[in-house]
Structure 1
Amino acid sequence: METLIDKLLVEQSNLQTPVAQFSKIHNNHELRTDLYKHLIPLEKPSKVEQYTFQVELDKCTGCKACLVACHTLNGLDEDEAWRDVGLLEGGDDAPGFQQTVTTACHHCLEPECMHGCPVGAYEKEPDTGIVRHLDDQCIGCEYCILKCPYDAPKYSHKRGIVRKCDMCHQRLTEGEAPACVQACPTEAISIIKINTATLRIENNFLPGAPTPEITLPTTRYVGRDVPASIKAADQSQLTLQPAHWPLAFMLVLTQMGLGLSIASLFTSTTHAVMGALIFNAGMVAATLHLGQPLKAWRFFLGLKTSWLSREILAFSLLAPIPLILAALPFLPESPLKDLVSFASKISLIPLAALAIFTSAMIYHDTGRVLWNLKTSLSNFLLTATAASILFISPNIFVITILALIALEITFLLPAKQTSWSPHQHSARLRIHPLAHVTFFRLLSAFLTIPVAFVSPWATLPILVISELCSRHLFFTSVQAPKMPGDLN
């Protein structure tokens, strides 16, 4: 008895390439070249061209056959999807407007995923323009996910790496259409060749999607005109972003550990030992964020373009210093000890500042509005300053805490705005679904003020908890750019 799987396998084996289909039509019928069209090019791109997706908006029904085909033929995990279907709606002019949009990786001319990867796990094929992810090189840091404004790379928890659409390049090589193209019942998706020089000049993209200026996405959306005032249907949904707890702990503990190490230059060995312990706890926490931590030694491959590579280098240069400062009092006197002590003390503050700057730049470079350099760097430096000054001057510590509280309050003010903006979106998240975290962040920050005058050591854990709440808000309340999605 023939099963459904047997039938599908037979059907798949009988699929023909575009050339074969064209030949069959040519032999059996009078060919009308003005009407015949296929869904992939019959020739490879020239030196000034590359492959790209073309989506005919008039034909997309939102049936999601492309999602199913992509998921099935690429063998994706149950919770993994490389293609999405979203919804555009609105427009200032009557009648109302609604449009379904299918989207995957745009194989950009300037792919930020590739530029941000610290280990060179991305490449843009010179002959096709396809941006491919090299699974065996990936360390699972997820920085490409933060860098991509279209939410194209997807993290595979099962494998501990990121994966994404590669335009089914193996099928294209054999003259066969990608899974999504082949599965669309209305032929809304096709592969075309596009002139890259023209694309750089025109720089047109889909209204309601993130700006194309940064990465120069190549996907062509054609069909009926989309109103310029259109917006994504899920734009105002209060969706929390991933908390990234290992990164939250890394940021707080490394910054506070450095603050204590700096305080030890003016206080006692106890602060140096505690600073080294806290700092290295933060360094260990950072590795927990990696899906493939044993491959992280190749970070130097991205130094030219990736701020994550530069942060790893900065912290690698800095890491021995807190340990040296903690160990110095226990070493016998010698000229070498004096030299090491002088070099460590004089380099601690500039290297700490450099490391914290690279941490801020990692998030600023993603283009997410809440993570701009001024805000991120101020937040990170104030955390280190608070830990440092706590044991030197309680009065200055109070000023530092008030500055942190003021910064936190500024994040809430845009909630009063009537029109949507990334800042307003983040403020609404902090006031509604994250209200308890915001409240605890402010309460614990205020609590450190009276406790600091009684016992700085009792203040320290309260400060750690307060700053962890701040980093939790930092990650979960950011407005992450993405292609239009569905209403949940």
Structure 2
Amino acid sequence: METLIDKLLVEQSNLQTPVAQFSKIHDNHELRTDLYKHLIPLEKPAKGEQYTFQVELDKCTGCKACLVACHTLNGLDEDEAWRDVGLLEGGDDAPGFQQTVTTACHHCLEPECMHGCPVGAYEKEPDTGIVRHLDDQCIGCEYCILKCPYDAPKYSHKRGIVRKCDMCHQRLTEGEAPACVQACPTEAISIIKINTATLRIENNFLPGAPTPEITLPTTRYVGRDVPASIKAADQSQLTLQPAHWPLAFMLVLTQIGLGVSIAALFTSTTHAVMGALIFNAGMVAATLHLGQPLKAWRFFLGLKTSWLSREILAFSLLAPIPLLLAALPFLPEFPLKDLVSFASKISLIPLAALAIFTSAMIYHDTRRVLWNLRTSLPNFFLTATAASILFISPDIFVITILALIALETTFLLPAKQTSWSPHQHSARLRIHPLAHVTFFRLFSAFLTIPGAFVSPWATLPILVISELCSRHLFFTSVQAPKMPGGLN
């Protein structure tokens, strides 16, 4: 007699679940490979071509499956993401427009991350066009993050290096789709081959994203017309940028140290000793910014394209001069001592000017509006000038401080603008979330004016604090270009 359990067992053995059905098809070699192979090219790029991402906007739902797959397959840290999903919205024409956008590294034709790296930790594969980061070469300076207008490189605090999307090149080599391509449920992401010469001519990119003129990004956004007046959903969010305290201390202490060393040419040995101490404290602070400082000796690899490499070279040439000026008066007589002293004195000012210029060019070369040469270069030179003039002429020092205050005030004026701009964005940051820093910057600067006439040595620490506030504003209030965000 057949029991109920026997009937259920028979029914269960005949039950065809989706997994069982797929397994049967797989065993019978009936896979429809034509349904998924179109997501990646079957042949490598020809000469004049490269791989690139193609995103069909009308298929992107913002589900973030691509983000999760990228994070999982590449074993990223908990707070690390090589792919992001953002939101475009607005447009001047009715009806209202909204579009989710998935984005990763664009594997640009002219990758600024590669050009800016001081140690050659990036390479653009000649046969595929993929921009790869070489983890074992990276010193963790994060300059590529500042150089990339799309926020593609990400810093790994755990490893002390930068990492980024490499288009899962090892999977492409084996004929497998990258993680994001494979995971997208609507097949919104694919890998295609693109003609690089055509891209240079067309130079089209996603409206609402940073300008493509700097790096010539290759990612193609297709499938839906996006209004030219569209904007990123998070464009007006007042988000502070990283403070980069080691860099802030490096800039202030080296500039003030050089200023005091220059003052020593006209005053006393005491100023030379103090200038050397302050300058070298700034040099030490600079190393604290590096995730892998022991690898920084390879800086010469980037001299052809990287202003960071050039700054390291300039400061390396300059570094012995303040020490010599401080030490020579205490050394016994030796042959050519007078010649060494004379050479040190006449080389200090031009080498200091060159070093400060390279510091300004580092930030100017990132194309961030607030860091352009017209504002950063006077700011840096006035800091060194103020430290020098403080011990020579209090009257001229007052003029220098007033110039610094005037320069700082000009950064606040665009806050009155009604339309968004990088200057207006930075001004709003300084007035609202950074109001206390802005106030203390201006207050301490004014405080140095009477102090210069009372005691220059007592005024020097106030000047250091005031300039540190200025550099904090310099780093945290800059408007950093990036791909659209705002989708939480």
- Whether these two folds match at TM > 0.5 is yes
Distance 1:59 1:412 in 2: 42
Distance 2:368 2:171 in 1: 35
Deviation at 1:485, TM superposition (A): 0.3
Deviation at 1:374, TM superposition (A): 1.3
Q: 1:451 to 1:32 in 2, by over 3 A?
A: closer
Deviation at 1:331, TM superposition (A): 1.5
Contact 1:325–1:341 (Cα < 8 Å) also in 2: yes
Distance 1:309 1:336 in 2: 32
Q: 1:6 to 1:475 in 2, by over 3 A?
A: farther
Deviation at 1:4, TM superposition (A): 30
SS in 1 for 2:412: helix
The percentage of aligned residue pairs carrying the same residue is 97
Q: 1:102 to 1:36 in 2, by over 3 A?
A: closer
Distance 2:6 2:264 in 1: 73
Deviation at 1:206, TM superposition (A): 0.1
Deviation at 1:224, TM superposition (A): 1.2
Contact 1:331–1:337 (Cα < 8 Å) also in 2: no
Deviation at 1:333, TM superposition (A): 3.0
Deviation at 1:235, TM superposition (A): 0.2
Q: 1:84 to 1:20 in 2, by over 3 A?
A: farther
Specify the alignment match of 1:267 in structure 2. 267
Distance 1:463 1:203 in 2: 47
Instruction: List alignment gaps of at least 5 residues for structure 1.
Output: none
Q: 1:75 to 1:16 in 2, by over 3 A?
A: farther
- Give the greater-gyration-radius structure (CA): 2
Contact 1:18–1:42 (Cα < 8 Å) also in 2: no
Deviation at 1:21, TM superposition (A): 16
Q: 1:26 to 1:71 in 2, by over 3 A?
A: closer
Deviation at 1:321, TM superposition (A): 0.3
Contact 2:85–2:487 (Cα < 8 Å) also in 1: no
In the TM superposition, what whole-angstrom CA distance separates every residue of 1:8-48 from its partner, at most 9, and x where no partner exists?
Answer: 99999999999999999999999999988620000010011
Distance 2:460 2:240 in 1: 29
Contact 1:238–1:425 (Cα < 8 Å) also in 2: yes
Q: 1:25 to 1:112 in 2, by over 3 A?
A: farther
Q: 1:100 to 1:297 in 2, by over 3 A?
A: same
Q: 1:45 to 1:131 in 2, by over 3 A?
A: same
Instruction: List alignment gaps of at least 5 residues for structure 2.
Output: none
Q: 1:179 to 1:35 in 2, by over 3 A?
A: closer
Deviation at 1:486, TM superposition (A): 1.3
Matches within 5 A, 1:223-238: 223-238=223-238
Distance 2:172 2:305 in 1: 30
SS in 2 for 1:23: helix
TM-score for the superposition, normalised by structure 1: 0.94
Deviation at 1:334, TM superposition (A): 3.9
Contact 2:315–2:355 (Cα < 8 Å) also in 1: yes
Deviation at 1:385, TM superposition (A): 0.2
In the TM superposition, what whole-angstrom CA distance separates every residue of 1:128-147 from its partner, at most 9, and x where no partner exists?
Answer: 00000000000000000000
In the TM superposition, what whole-angstrom CA distance separates every residue of 1:387-439 from its partner, at most 9, and x where no partner exists?
Answer: 00000000000000000000000000000000000000000000000000000
Contact 1:412–1:428 (Cα < 8 Å) also in 2: yes
Contact 1:307–1:362 (Cα < 8 Å) also in 2: yes
Q: 1:32 to 1:466 in 2, by over 3 A?
A: closer
SS in 1 for 2:256: helix
In the TM superposition, what whole-angstrom CA distance separates every residue of 1:128-167 from its partner, at most 9, and x where no partner exists?
Answer: 0000000000000000000000000000000000000000
In the TM superposition, what whole-angstrom CA distance separates every residue of 1:301-327 from its partner, at most 9, and x where no partner exists?
Answer: 000000000000000000000000000
Distance 1:12 1:169 in 2: 43
Distance 1:188 1:93 in 2: 26
Distance 1:243 1:8 in 2: 67
Q: 1:10 to 1:196 in 2, by over 3 A?
A: farther
TM-score for the superposition, normalised by structure 2: 0.94
